[in-house]
């Protein structure tokens, strides 16, 4: 289960809307071993594509060094889908290399008639996708 603050959900959704029609991507870091997302880190989609996202390799290296210095880890890895539901694509699954992370997908397309976005979380381990419950809280 992913427990995340409303403020972080709002930041992730705002980033997805801002970058639309391109996919947005980023990380929410937290203290190592805590499973608690705390620090919102929007990243540049180096692919600048409405159907694909890619972290810039230099930015990603800098981020991992910074997280290491702060004793943090990527608790949430997020990106948006702009025309499809919030479910990992084959490409998303193949690039999922953080087995401890929550993979959050935000769809900015109203694919289910339930509103202007979907916010879903998944665990992706060795190509196996498992959707998990999301609990939104005001504070930890």
Q: How many CB atoms lie within 10 A of CB 99?
A: 9
* Tokens coding 20: 């639309």
pLDDT band at residue 109 under the 50/70/90 scheme = confident
* Tokens coding 99: 């087995």
pLDDT band at residue 8 under the 50/70/90 scheme = very high
Mean pLDDT of 93-113: 87
pLDDT, residue 114, reads: 56
What's the rounded Cα separation, in Å, for the pair 115 and 23? 19
* Largest pairwise CA distance in the chain: 44
How confident is the prediction for the chain on average, in pLDDT? 94
Q: Are strands 128-132 and 118-125 parallel, antiparallel or unpaired?
A: antiparallel
What's the rounded Cα separation, in Å, for the pair 137 and 13? 16
Helix or strand (DSSP H, E) at 30 = strand 25-31
**pLDDT at residue 117 tops 90:** no
């Amino acid at each position: 289960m992913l427990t995340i603050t409303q403020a972080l959900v709002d930041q992730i959704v705002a980033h997805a809307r801002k970058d639309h029609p391109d996919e947005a991507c980023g990380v929410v870091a937290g203290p190592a071993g805590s499973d608690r997302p705390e620090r919102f880190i929007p990243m540049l989609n180096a692919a600048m594509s409405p159907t694909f996202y890619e972290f810039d390799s230099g930015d990603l290296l800098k981020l991992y060094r910074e997280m290491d210095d702060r004793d943090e880890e990527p608790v949430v890895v997020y990106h948006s889908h702009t025309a499809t539901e919030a479910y990992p694509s084959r490409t998303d699954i193949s690039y999922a290399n953080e087995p401890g992370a929550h993979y959050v997908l935000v769809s900015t397309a109203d694919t289910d008639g339930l509103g202007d976005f979907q916010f879903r979380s998944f665990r992706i381990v060795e190509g196996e996708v498992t959707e998990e419950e999301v609990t939104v809280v005001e504070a930890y």
